[in-house]
């Protein structure tokens, strides 16, 4: 009996030792030389970001498995984005590749992302900003620009995101509510621009990355989304992060619609 108890104690001691070792290993990652975000990878997608000597994004590549590779090339004038060239290469021959060149213009608190006349896609986007923070944006998918989808952001006094609402406006200037995503459980220790946070459901958010814009001060780790089409219902998203001592994210697990999705993050070394 004593021998049996001794074996149990030994097993427990070993389990505790291994458990502590794993915890220490996760916290002792040497991130002192980590710098700008380089890559985000999932089972189906990879986003890789390249920077110029001023640490501004000058190229970004999104590769979706078995679908496409999308490349953004950015041209600057005095460290301000002047043009963005979007190249879409599809991995199947039945769908043509696309090249779209966007001119970027700034007027008061509005940034206009306008395709040139000979571009393959004629989707115009206007972004309303306060400083670097996005207040709203409209996506015009018709050349006469009489119909658009508008996304509106609300934030608190600390510039933490509270909600993102989406409305569709037709050619009669009638707006219809589509959805609202509200956010909770903010983590102030994450060393990450929230625009990269998988908890957000946003179209065309790549342009926010390229234009060095922000959507929130701190990162939310949960959200509730009310959707009106085809009928009213709610859905939930939550994220859990693996962090280094200095708040760099190495892994994010997104829970969405009873499914789990893993995002892995890597960084450039600082010179």
Around Cβ 6, how many Cβ atoms within 10 Å? 10
Domain 40-269 classified CATH 2.40.160?
Answer: yes
- Boundaries of every domain in the chain: 40-269
CA distance 64 to 207: 18
pTM of the model: 0.84
Terminal C-alpha separation, the chain: 61
The H or E element containing residue 10 is helix 2-27
The H or E element containing residue 3 is helix 2-27
Residue owning tokens 């571009």 = 119
CA distance 113 to 109: 13
Per-position pLDDT tens, the chain of length 271: 444 444 444 444 444 444 444 444 445 577 888 999 999 999 999 999 999 999 999 999 999 998 999 999 999 999 999 999 999 999 987 788 999 999 999 999 999 999 999 999 999 999 999 999 999 999 998 777 789 999 999 999 999 999 999 999 988 888 898 999 999 999 998 999 999 999 999 999 999 999 999 999 999 999 999 988 666 677 788 999 999 988 999 999 999 888 899 999 999 998 7
The H or E element containing residue 39 is strand 34-41
């Amino acid at each position: 009996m004593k021998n049996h108890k001794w074996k149990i104690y030994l097993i427990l001691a070993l389990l505790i030792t291994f458990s502590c070792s794993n915890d220490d290993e996760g916290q002792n990652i040497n991130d002192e030389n980590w710098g700008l975000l380089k890559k985000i990878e999932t089972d189906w997608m990879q986003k890789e970001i390249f920077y110029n000597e001023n640490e501004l994004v000058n190229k970004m590549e999104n590769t979706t498995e078995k679908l496409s590779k999308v490349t953004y090339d950015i041209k600057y004038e005095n460290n301000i984005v002047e043009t963005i060239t979007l190249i879409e290469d599809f991995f199947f021959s039945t769908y043509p590749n696309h090249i779209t060149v966007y001119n970027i213009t700034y007027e008061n608190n509005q940034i206009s992302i306008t395709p040139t006349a000979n571009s393959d896609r004629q989707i115009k986007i206007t972004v309303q900003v306060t400083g670097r923070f996005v207040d709203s944006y409209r996506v015009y998918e018709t050349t006469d620009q009489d119909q658009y989808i508008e996304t509106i952001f609300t934030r608190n006094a600390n510039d933490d995101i509270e909600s993102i609402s989406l409305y569709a406006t037709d050619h009669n200037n009638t707006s219809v509510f589509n959805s609202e995503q509200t956010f909770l459980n903010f983590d102030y220790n994450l060393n990450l621009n929230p625009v990269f946070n998988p908890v957000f459901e946003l179209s065309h958010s790549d342009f926010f990355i390229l234009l060095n814009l922000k959507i929130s001060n701190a990162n939310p780790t949960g959200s509730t989304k009310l959707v009106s089409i085809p009928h009213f219902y709610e859905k939930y998203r939550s994220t859990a992060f693996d962090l280094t001592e200095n708040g760099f994210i190495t892994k994010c697990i997104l829970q969405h619609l009873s499914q789990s999705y893993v995002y892995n993050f890597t960084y450039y070394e600082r010179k």
